[in-house]
Amino acid sequence: MERYDVIIVGAGPAGIFCAMELMDKNKDLKVLMFEKGNSIEKRICPKRKTRKCIECKPCNITTGFAGAGAYSDGKLSLSPDVGGELPAYIGYEETKELIDYVDNIYLSFGADTKIYGIENENEVENIRKKAIQSNLKLIECPVRHMGTEVGYNIYSSLQQTLIDKGVTIKFRNPVKELIIDENKVLGVKADDDYYAEKIVVGVGRDGSEWFHDICNKYNVDTVVGKVDIGVRVECRNEIMEEINESLYEGKLVYYTPTFDDKVRTFCSNPGGVVATEYYDNNLAVVNGHSYKADDLKTNNTNFALLVSKGFTEPFNSPIAYGKHIAGLGNMLSGNKIIVQRYGDFKRGRRTTMERLYRNNIQPTLQDAVPGDLCLVLPYRILKDIEEMLTALDNVSPGLVSDETLLYGVEVKFYSNQVKVDETFQTNIQNMYVLGDGAGITRGLMQASANGVYVARKIAGSVE
């Protein structure tokens, strides 16, 4: 039986940067990484050519080396104010230092040197003014845009670097179980039993439900987290031109007048495409991305509108709640994504193919099914979305045009918030958690920084 110093569960950004930092701190460490999906070079989504999902298992969009981030828009948010709760754990200044450190690594692997949001002061001031007038809060965050295809190249190089440094990576080999005895983790069960002194769990969103079950089984201390539910909005680039050119991504937060619910914009993709992600049990949810190259750009911009829902006792299943709502959409659309014109949405009627073809805007998600999101989303969330769009229209006039497209359902599973100490160790000895799946981060940059932090804490303690 071969033993390792550290086992990392999940090869997303958090796990990747944890492994990188471990090997940089101690090149003699024996590090093993498990990933349920494919290596980066085998993460090919046939739908991008065939326009039809063939239901790859595991899904190459949501799983594989670099996690869902490899096929995302590849935005690196360079402010501690965006992308997770890491400052609450380690402090604002240390988070900023880690973000700068990780950013330099991304640059060394080929990320674009251009940063959006630090120039065009007059334009940003005008956007901020219009946001304030509409009771919106503009969160100003410098953004480095890698792009989907450049991000793929960067993570390809990172994968090879880890292998060259001696990290063992087992692809298509999901961890089924942890080996825990007397409140101490000893190893993991995958295709075989593997043992290590330290176990780091960084499973990302796709593994959040699996990890939720693990926490329940072994009494890992957690608190009921939130789930974000909403839609993806698609409009012409002209409508979002001011924000796209000045900020690349406008991060706006709104507290709705009817319910005082928090709604935020998320993951904006100028010139991008709307995409489908498939989770376990073939659950289809909507997402979006965009490419770096101009010849791959579209005429449309898409972004998410997400309503953050917290829960109180006795309810403790926010992940299941989010999946239930997404499942209703799947039920009505034949396991695809519903698209609805805003004009039909506000009139409470179903979008038809004939009405869809009237639009100047044509869906970039070509297999989306015209339908009625009012039959899927709870009234409270529908009202929140309507009020948020009305406010946003004052910042980007024309957004509430009848032809603006809404896709549903978009769900972000940030629900398993694990209680940790200052090293991110759980109440289970030698078990550490990081990234989105632990409810700590919500994006590439903070997940990567979280990985570096944990590696530094445990590298010197491995015997």
- 304 lies in the same domain as 282: yes
Average pLDDT of the chain to the nearest whole number: 91
Q: Is residue 298 part of a domain?
A: yes
| Across 434-460, average pLDDT | 93
- 42 lies in the same domain as 138: no
Distance between CA 109 and CA 158 in Å, rounded? 8
- 310 lies in the same domain as 402: yes
> Per mean pLDDT, which range of 47-51, 122-126, 149-153, 282-286 is the poorest?
47-51
Q: What is the pLDDT of residues 379-413, one digit of tens each?
A: 999 999 999 999 999 999 999 999 999 999 999 87
**What are the structure tokens assigned to 303, written together?**
């972004």
Residue-by-residue DSSP string for 433-455: E-SGGGTSB-SHHHHHHHHHHHH
The enclosing H or E element of 300 equals strand 300-309
pLDDT number for residue 292: 78
Tell me the residue ranges of DSSP E strands in 104-201. Answer: 136-139, 143-145, 168-170, 177-181, 184-189, 193-201
Distance between CA 234 and CA 101 in Å, rounded? 34
Domains: count for the chain: 2
Q: Is residue 104 part of a domain?
A: yes
Per-residue pLDDT band at 47 (split at 50, 70, 90):
low
Residue-by-residue DSSP string for 11-80: -SHHHHHHHHHHHHH-TT--EEEE-SS--GGG---THHHHSS----SS-TTTSSTTGGGGGS--EEE-ST
Q: What is the pLDDT of residues 201-260, one digit of tens each?
A: 999 877 888 898 899 999 999 887 778 999 999 999 999 999 999 999 899 999 999 999
| Across 254-279, average pLDDT | 94
Candidates 400, 411, 399; CA nearest to 308 is 411
Residue-by-residue DSSP string for 339-379: EEEHHHHHHT----HHHHHH-SS--SSTTPEE--GGGTS-H
Distance between CA 447 and CA 436 in Å, rounded? 7
3-state secondary structure of 133: helix
The enclosing H or E element of 240 equals none
- 91 lies in the same domain as 214: yes
Bond into 409 cis (ω within 30): yes
Distance between CA 372 and CA 69 in Å, rounded? 30
Q: Is 449 exposed, middle or buried (0-12, 13-18, 19+ CB in 10 A)?
A: buried
Candidates 372, 384, 359, 379; CA nearest to 408 is 372
Per-residue pLDDT band at 50 (split at 50, 70, 90):
low
3-state secondary structure of 10: coil
| Across 126-131, average pLDDT | 96
- 323 lies in the same domain as 254: yes
- In this model, does residue 308 exceed pLDDT 80? yes
pLDDT number for residue 404: 97
Distance between CA 238 and CA 68 in Å, rounded? 29
Per-residue pLDDT band at 310 (split at 50, 70, 90):
confident
Per-residue pLDDT band at 416 (split at 50, 70, 90):
low
- Which residue(s) pair with 189 in the sheet? 177, 193
| Across 137-146, average pLDDT | 90
- 126 lies in the same domain as 85: no
pLDDT number for residue 415: 55
pLDDT number for residue 51: 61
* Torsion region of 221: left, alpha or beta (phi above 0 gives left; psi -120 to 50 gives alpha): beta
pLDDT number for residue 155: 93
pLDDT number for residue 347: 95
- 217 lies in the same domain as 288: no
Distance between CA 32 and CA 166 in Å, rounded? 9
- 71 lies in the same domain as 136: no
- In this model, does residue 157 exceed pLDDT 80? yes
3-state secondary structure of 83: coil
> Per mean pLDDT, which range of 181-185, 222-226, 232-236, 457-461 is the poorest?
222-226
Per-residue pLDDT band at 96 (split at 50, 70, 90):
very high
- 39 lies in the same domain as 62: yes
Q: What CATH number is attached to the domain comprising 204?
A: 3.50.50.60
Domain that holds residue 328: 121-144+226-412
> Per mean pLDDT, which range of 13-17, 210-214, 425-429 is the poorest?
210-214
Q: Is residue 103 part of a domain?
A: yes
pLDDT number for residue 281: 76
- 137 lies in the same domain as 154: no
pLDDT number for residue 240: 96
**What are the structure tokens assigned to 25, written together?**
């701190």
C-alpha count within 13 angstroms, C-beta hemisphere, residue 238? 5
Q: What is the pLDDT of residues 61-86, one digit of tens each?
A: 788 898 887 666 788 999 999 988 99
pLDDT number for residue 48: 65
Q: What is the pLDDT of residues 316-327, one digit of tens each?
A: 778 888 899 999
Distance between CA 103 and CA 13 in Å, rounded? 12
Q: Is residue 116 part of a domain?
A: no
| Across 157-174, average pLDDT | 97
Distance between CA 227 and CA 205 in Å, rounded? 11
- 385 lies in the same domain as 320: yes
Q: How many percent of the chain have pLDDT more than 90?
A: 71
3-state secondary structure of 96: helix
Q: Is residue 36 part of a domain?
A: yes
* Torsion region of 64: left, alpha or beta (phi above 0 gives left; psi -120 to 50 gives alpha): left
- 131 lies in the same domain as 151: no
8 Å CB contact between 284 and 335: yes
